[in-house]
Structures are given as C-alpha cells and as structure tokens.
C-alpha cells in the first residue's frame, strides 16, 4: 500500500550482512527503544551514513550531523526529511559515511574493545596501570 516495492528491498533475516552493507546508500534505524546497536556500528564501519532515532545508546554511536542524523522518536516526518536529504546529497552522504567509518574504527574496533575490557578487569582486580 506504500508503493515502495520498486525502491526499497525487504530482505528478511540474512547471514551475509557485510556485503549487503557495502551497497547501501543510507541506514535507517527508527527504533522506539534501543541498547547499544550493533547494526549502527556495523553500518558505520561499512561507511554508510545513519538516520536513527535519538533513543537508548544511539547517541553514543552516531555523532549528530557528523556521522549521520539523530531524530526524535515517533517523528516520521523528520525521518523522511533526513533520509531524502542524504539521498539527494551524495557529497553529504560520502562525508558522513567516511566520518562514520573513522568513528567506528576508533571507538569500536576489536583492539579498542579488548583494551577497554582489560582496563575494567585490571581496575576490578586492583592493579590499574594508569
């Protein structure tokens, strides 16, 4: 009834996510609640700009106006406007995608996470080296 069948693909559950992310123009996450979204991190790591609702941990992942847009939850107009903005502006899309790729590598790489967990364990064990 939305007449978007020739513009949007609904693929269902998939196992081949990284190659699919490589061909996206934009990633939308219209959640009403969210934890730390792996989908956002994976999309940013693939260089895909984000449009997401500003709920849960999304603001810890997406840097508004830098790696994508954070919009109020339950605001379909803002979601549509930001998606159209990115689709109509390839330079902005590229700039945000590259910023997202850098942010994902800096904050969420395997080595960064290993270091963070090591620091936590060392602190709990009372042997913090700082």
Full-model pTM: 0.80
Contact assessment for residue 62 and residue 27, using Cβ atoms and an 8 Å cutoff: no
pLDDT beyond 80 at 126: yes
How are the residues of the chain apportioned to helix, strand and coil, as percentages rounded to the nearest 5?
A: 50, 10, 40
Q: Lowest-pLDDT range, 6-10, 94-98, 115-119? A: 6-10
**What is the reported pLDDT for 100?**
97
Q: Which helix (H) or strand (E) holds 79?
A: helix 76-88
**What are the pLDDT digits (tens) for 62-106?**
999 999 999 999 999 999 999 999 999 999 999 999 999 999 999
Q: What's the pLDDT at 4?
A: 78
The per-residue pLDDT for 1 is 66
- Tens of pLDDT, residue by residue over 13-42, are 989 988 999 899 999 999 998 888 899 999
CA distance 6 to 19: 21
- The strands making up 68-71's β-sheet, listed across from edge to edge, are 27-29, 50-53, 68-71
Q: How many CB atoms lie within 10 A of CB 87?
A: 13
- Better pLDDT: 79 or 122: 79
CB atoms within 10 A of CB 129: 7
Please state the rounded mean pLDDT for residues 104-117.
89
- Sorted by where each starts, the structural domains of the chain and their CATH numbers stand as 17-103 (3.40.50.2000)
Angle, alpha carbons 95-15-111 (nearest 5°): 55
């Amino acid at each position: 009834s939305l007449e978007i069948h020739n513009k949007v693909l609904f693929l269902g559950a998939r196992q081949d996510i990284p190659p699919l992310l490589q061909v996206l123009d934009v990633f939308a996450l219209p959640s009403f609640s969210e934890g730390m979204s792996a989908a956002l991190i994976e999309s940013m790591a693939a260089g895909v700009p984000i449009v997401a609702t500003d709920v849960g941990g999304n603001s810890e992942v997406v840097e508004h106006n830098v790696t994508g847009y954070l919009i109020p939850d339950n605001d379909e107009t803002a979601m549509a406007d930001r998606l159209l903005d990115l689709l109509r502006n390839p330079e902005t899309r590229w700039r945000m995608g590259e910023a997202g790729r850098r942010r994902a590598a800096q904050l969420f790489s395997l080595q960064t996470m290993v270091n963070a967990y090591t620091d936590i364990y060392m602190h709990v064990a009372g042997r913090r080296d700082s």
